[in-house]
């Protein structure tokens, strides 16, 4: 588990199933991941709507407020980022996610349940070669004190900084060279979070977090963490932002070779980079694994 650079595409070696509730809708939902043929990509299939298919691609993004939602022809799949994050980080190229409601189950608020089960069932190599988006020149976006950029690198790296007024969060900054091992240990356990009880009430009035609880979110009062046991990992707040970023970048449709640098980011900021990259096609090119060299050196 030392590298995400693979010569060939991979799918799951078996089927995985989960049941849970949606964070924002509070509805019960069943989710199954099934192997898919090469070059399928990641697709969602609404089994409650006659198997309607929505591809996990940027062209289908509907909303990026508090979660990343996909829509095609009026059919919605919400809160996709944690599942997409685990699939992207662990090297799953092709999979069919069958779901019987409109929101991916929140599980424990992190990507760890998905990641652990993906590793348990294992991956199956396929005959088609994997292709990567290799960054050729910098792309930078800054607005309203928030910024995101991507620079050429020899591997996928993330530098992420957050800055919250809450004293238990404050300013945090992390740099990570992503591998399946580093993702499983350092990123996947990090939970979604809410920094005040007042924010909870505001979100509920807006029709959100109806399924939220201390079982699936990290919640702060003005002076303490309300969850029993406190933080799972140091800088859990910043690590969860990286988790979300990886999931949102999956919407490009190919793994990235580049260094992403974010300051005070979120889903909207992440999607802004995805959109800019798809427009500025001279800033990158598709390459296969033979051109991704050296495989394990730092940028």
Residues marked active site are found at: 267
Distance CA 194, CA 134 (A): 35
Give the strand pairing for 171-177 and 157-163: antiparallel
């Amino acid at each position: 588990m030392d590298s995400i650079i693979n010569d060939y595409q991979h799918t799951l070696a078996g089927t995985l199933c989960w049941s849970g509730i949606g964070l924002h809708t509070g509805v019960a939902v069943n989710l199954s991941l099934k192997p898919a043929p090469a070059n399928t990509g990641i697709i969602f299939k609404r089994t409650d709507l006659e198997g309607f298919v929505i591809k996990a691609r940027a062209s289908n993004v509907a909303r990026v407020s508090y979660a990343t939602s996909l829509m095609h022809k009026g059919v919605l799949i919400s809160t996709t980022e944690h599942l997409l994050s685990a699939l992207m980080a662990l090297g799953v190229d092709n999979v069919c996610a069958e779901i019987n409601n409109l929101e991916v189950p929140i599980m424990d608020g992190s990507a760890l349940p998905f990641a652990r089960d993906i590793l348990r069932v294992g991956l199956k190599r396929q005959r088609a070669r994997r292709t990567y988006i290799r960054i050729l020149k910098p792309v930078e976006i800054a607005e309203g004190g928030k910024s995101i950029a991507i620079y050429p690198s020899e591997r996928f790296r993330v530098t992420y900084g957050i800055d919250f007024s809450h004293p238990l969060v404050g300013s945090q900054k992390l740099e990570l060279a992503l591998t399946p091992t580093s993702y499983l240990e350092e990123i996947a356990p990090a939970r979604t979070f809410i920094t005040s009880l007042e924010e909870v009430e505001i979100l509920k009035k807006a029709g959100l977090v109806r399924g939220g609880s201390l079982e699936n979110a990290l919640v702060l009062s003005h002076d303490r963490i309300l969850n029993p046991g406190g933080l799972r990992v140091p800088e859990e707040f910043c690590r969860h932002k990286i988790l979300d970023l990886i999931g949102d970048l999956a919407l490009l449709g190919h793994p990235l070779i580049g260094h992403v640098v974010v300051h005070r980011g979120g889903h909207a900021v992440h999607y802004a980079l995805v959109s800019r990259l798809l427009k500025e096609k001279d800033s990158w090119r598709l390459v296969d694994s033979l051109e991704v060299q050296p495989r394990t050196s730092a940028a």
